[in-house]
Amino acid sequence: MFIALFENGEVCSLLDGWTVEQLQRWRETKSFICPVCFGRVQLKIGKKRMPHFAHETRCVIETERETAAHLQGKQQLYEWVKGGPLKAEVEKYLPHIQQRPDVFVSYKEKMYALEYQCSLIPMSSFMKRTKAYMCANIVPVWILHRSYLQRRGLLFQLSSFSWLFFNDNETITFYCPIRKQFSFLHHLIPLSATLAYGQCTTVPLHAMSFTFLHMTPRPQADTLFYAWNMKKKQWRLSPLYYRTNRTFCHIVYNAHMTPSLFPHEAGIPLRHSYWFETPPFIWQTYMLMEMMAVPLHVTFSFHQLYEQLQRFIRQNIVRARQLPLVTTSHYSYALMDYLHALVSLRFLKKVGKSSFQRIRSWSLPSTIEEAMKGDEDVLRRIVSKKEDFFIKRE
């Protein structure tokens, strides 16, 4: 940390431009205490990390060991924010919620807590801190170190920890203190618990505005059709998906289906499918089976299907994703996206605000070759329309 108190209670900030010689004299002649727990802290001056304070014993608030990247990034973010028309404080302690964000910002009658995370922390800690900020009407702005941004060709590898940083802008924000640049991962559409299609926009720190942290970057050239079609072929051809999803195999076998020959209408990219860890071809097949149980031209409601989805989630047949920073949507949105996609594919007809009728049977391929050709036709129809259930972000 950069802030401590001298024994007389005077604040000492290591970001005030002190020379190394001055800091070394202080370390030899002064004692420092933490402004939160009032325990002793040591002034660390080394070659690998910036000068900082470290507790001799554990602090009363949750903290983790600060890396060189975290200290450097925290300083850069603080200097960046305070350089604009905003009021910024580094390591401000908020006693009413017992939190100390890396940078506390006041802007246009709103309060923000910037948290720059360079190391893994338990999900419970992330959720607790996020909830504390929200309950205090402070907007949490979590920023992840750039090392967690892992590209796999047209796709991105994202751990459950990285997904915690997904926010209401449908974006994950990264920062690299070495390059001094932000990276925004946006328009994410997951293919599994840890793999997603997405787009990445990079902005240098000097060209970045604070308000851009709360915006969704514009979509770039669209490679979704190619990436998704390639992945759907893998779903069809790879035995791995069926060895690791035995429940899916059991359910579809009982329905007299072959797992690799799931319906063409399953495995469709949807805007809000980020709410599920379960691969889209699996949870969408389950929903199609529920709809196929309803006779043709008989009305059913969204709520009826939603109750079945909730049952699947309670039974852990479908896994919903934990997204504590997303407050403006819910996994029910993904289901409604899917119903609208099926209307576009003329599998369903919308007969009311949230009422539908099935107007044909599903398309079940009989061979892998037929499956891949049909998948390509369905995907092309979906992607070409770019309707609200798929790509719209306004």
The per-residue pLDDT for range 247-290, each reduced to its tens digit, is 999 999 999 999 999 999 999 999 999 999 999 999 999 999 99
Q: Domain boundary residue among 181, 214, 247? A: 214
Cα-to-chain-centroid distance, residue 197? 13
For residues 86 and 210, the answer to whether their CB atoms sit within 8 Å is yes
58 lies in some domain: yes
Domain match, 1 and 88 both: no
Taking residue 107's Cβ as centre, other Cβ atoms within 10 Å add up to 16
Domain match, 69 and 195 both: yes
Short-list 352, 358, 361, 312, CA closest to 332:
312
Average pLDDT over residues 89-102: 93
pLDDT over 80 (residue 235) = yes
The residues near 254 (Cβ < 8 Å, ≥ 6 apart) are: none
Domain match, 44 and 186 both: no
| Residue 115 or 384, more confident | 115
Q: What is the pLDDT of residues 286-338, one digit of tens each?
A: 999 999 999 999 999 999 999 999 999 999 999 999 999 999 999 999 999 99
Name the average pLDDT for the chain.
Answer: 90
259 lies in some domain: yes
110 lies in some domain: yes
Domain match, 36 and 180 both: no
Short-list 237, 172, 222, 175, CA closest to 203:
175
Domain match, 204 and 233 both: no
Domain match, 28 and 104 both: no
Q: Domain boundary residue among 43, 62, 81? A: 62
390 lies in some domain: no
Domain match, 171 and 249 both: no
392 lies in some domain: no
pLDDT at 239: 75
Domain match, 53 and 76 both: no
The model's confidence at residue 171, banded by pLDDT at 50, 70 and 90, is: very high
Whichever domain contains 86, its CATH number is 3.40.1350.10
Q: Domain boundary residue among 214, 239, 267? A: 214
198: domain range?
63-214
pLDDT at 386: 60
pLDDT over 70 (residue 123) = yes
Average pLDDT over residues 221-239: 86
The model's confidence at residue 56, banded by pLDDT at 50, 70 and 90, is: confident
DSSP letter, residue 318:
S
Domain match, 142 and 234 both: no
391 lies in some domain: no
| Residue 328 or 51, more confident | 328
Q: How many domains does the chain have?
A: 3
pLDDT at 389: 53
Torsion of CA 123, 128, 131, 132, to 10 degrees: -150
Domain match, 244 and 325 both: yes
219 lies in some domain: no
pLDDT at 394: 38
User: pTM for the whole thing?
Assistant: 0.90
pLDDT at 393: 43
Of all residues in the chain, the percent with pLDDT exceeding 70 is 96
Domain match, 315 and 341 both: yes
Give the neighbor-by-neighbor strand order of the sheet with 348-350: 299-301, 355-358, 348-350
Short-list 111, 115, 94, CA closest to 103:
115
394 lies in some domain: no
Domain match, 55 and 143 both: no
